[in-house]
Chain A
Amino acid sequence: MHLALFCIFGALCVAGALNLLLQRHPINSALSLIVVMSSLAVLYLLLGAEFLAAAQVIVYSGAIMVLFTFVIMLLNAGREQRTHGSKMAWVLGFPGAAVLLALLADIFITHSGDFHRVQAGEYVVNTAMLSGVLFRDLLLPFEVTSILILIAILGAVALARKEH
């Protein structure tokens, strides 16, 4: 059951990501991104992170992607021209990606014993446990992160303010 769900939503996620790159109209790309985000939420749910899954849908698929589509609609962006891409991407990009993949694969294979294996659906982190970790054990890093985000908001307001 869990394996079947993982396969379906994993495939949906990859298909959405490919469609995001291949579509020529920005709004179709944005919609594929929504599919990617939502199927990621299902994958989180399979791993037992129920709050993270709900937050992923509410924050990413809901709020942030609505803003994306909002901006695309406002700018009335048209179809993109299909190009061959930049030369740098061909020369550096593919070898770079291959090297990164090889490195990661090497690390994962040699150190596979050190990682904890997580099986889908065997363990559920409920919201109360999560809040215990966030607001008791890791309270200081959590609050510092929120101040960091507050500073980013202040920066955006300062940039957006009109000069008087």
Chain B
Amino acid sequence: METSLLTFLIVNLIKIVVVVVILLMEVAYTVLLERKLVGRIQNRWGPSRVGPFGLLQPLADGAKLFLKEDLMPLAVERPLYVIAPMIALGCALTSIAVIPFGANIQWHGVDLFQISDVSIGLLILLGITSIGVYGIALSGWSSNNKYSLLGALRASAQVISYELALGLALVGVIMRAGSLRLRDIVNVQTGHSVLAFLHWNFFGGFQFVAFFVYLMAAYAETNRSPFDLPEAESELTAGYHTEYSSMKFAMFFMAEYANMITVGCVATLLFFGGWTSPFGHFLSGSGPISIALFSVFWFVAKVFGFLFLYIWVRGTLPRFRYDQLMGFGWKFLVPVAIANIVVTGLWMGLSLPAR
């Protein structure tokens, strides 16, 4: 069905607003989830006073950050200091635009569960991630503070190094799918039997090596523990956001959690079959509405699993030392990722009939 430009614009605007609002709510509640889980890991309760089970804590946090005084230190580089958190948050929110979070259901010719279905979706994600570094780098430099600068230098060196491993880890998956479009990558992994999860790239595609490289590189890329050296409290006060207060600080925080969610979405799409049910037609719905609900349910469940893993790792593992971090990235992850590409290539070359 041909869509008019007006419907296209209106539906897309609504989609963007809905996705951004849901993402920001998800960010707020991921913070609560993290505080709760880390609390349990450390044998305490975590937030429990505001609302039932502390469920209103994110609202209280948001109100507190809004009402705080927005300090502007005198010695900062003025425009860059203000722009840096916007770059960080802007890039974090933009990258969700190419992610499909449900089955391909069309309404008046517009895809309901994806903002834009781009043929180079995966590359766009990588591009936006690489631009996002500037938020951290510029914030550290423009703060005019040695701790901030050290944090920013660590962040940029770390992100550049691990971006390489991240990109190489994805090549195996792209080779199997033969496409950079995220929907195609998911469609390769769908099966119809009850054991459909064996078609996932993680199991069936024999890409679990790539998955572990991706997972570790992604932790480093989002500056999360055990790779959170840019904001190591014990050495750098708070790293690159030492000088920031109020909503500017909150923007860095939101960017970090939005990036976590994006990384979880990408891992789900590339290695765990995206929105498809792990049991084939079982629990995947029959009518259009139930298909939509089930696909979103599976997607959210898988992404939630990743967020849980993130927090679990943070509560469990100690921080790396800086030289260990660099050595691990360059001497272990990159060679393993390259070996994975070679093995995947051989596997495909030997198993597929010659074209």
Using a CB–CB cutoff of 8 Å, the interface residues on chain A facing chain B are: 27, 31, 34, 38, 50-51, 54-55, 57-58, 61-63, 66-67, 69-70, 73-74, 126-128
Shortest Cβ gap from A130 to chain B (Å): 11
* B133 & A66 in contact (Cβ 8 Å cutoff): yes
A155 to B149, CA, bound (A): 31
Q: A54-B123, A67-B160, A128-B178 are in contact. List 13 more A-B contacts (CB 8 A).
A: A27-B141, A31-B80, A38-B131, A55-B123, A58-B127, A61-B131, A62-B130, A66-B159, A69-B137, A70-B137, A70-B153, A74-B153, A127-B119
Q: Could you give 5 example pairs across A and B, Cβ below 8 Å?
A: A54-B127, A57-B131, A66-B134, A69-B156, A74-B153
* Whole-angstrom CA separation of A40 from B28 in the bound complex: 36
A62-B133, A63-B160 known; A27-B80 Cβ under 8 A: yes
A57 touches B178 (CB 8 A): no
Interface contact A66-B137, CB-CB below 8 Å: yes
Contact residues, B132-164 vs A (CB, 8 A): 133-134, 137-138, 140-141, 149, 152-153, 156-157, 159-160, 163
In chain B between 159 and 188, which residues have their CB closer than 8 angstroms to a CB of chain A?
159-160, 163, 167, 178-180
Q: Is the CB of B127 within 8 A of A63?
A: no
Is the beta-carbon distance between A73 and B152 smaller than 8 angstroms?
yes
Contact A50 B131 (CB under 8 A): no
Residue B124 is within 8 A (CB to CB) of chain A in the complex:
yes
If A67-B160, A70-B137 touch, whether A62 touches B119 (CB-CB below 8 Å) is no
**Residue from A58, A74, A127 in contact with B130 in the complex, judged by beta carbons closer than 8 Å:** A58
Chain A residues contacting B80 (CB-CB under 8 Å) are: 27, 31
Grouping DSSP codes into helix (H, G, I), strand (E, B) and loop, the A interface class, with mixed when no group exceeds half, is helix
Q: Looking at the complex, which one of B123, B138, B141 makes contact with A51 (CB distance below 8 Å)?
A: B123
- Cross-chain contact A61 with B156 (CB below 8 angstroms): no
Residues of A near B129 (CB, < 8 A) are 62
- Inter-chain CA distance A83–B160, complex, in Å, is 36
- A19 and B102 CA atoms in complex are apart in Å by 44
Instruction: Give the contacting residue for A34; candidates B119, B134, B149, B163; CB below 8 A.
Output: B134
CB < 8 Å: which of A31, A38, A55, A70 contacts B157? Answer: A70
- Interface residues in B50-77 (C-beta closer than 8 Å to A): 77
Give the complex CA separation of A58 and B119 in angstroms.
16
Contacts of A128 in B (CB 8 A): 178-179
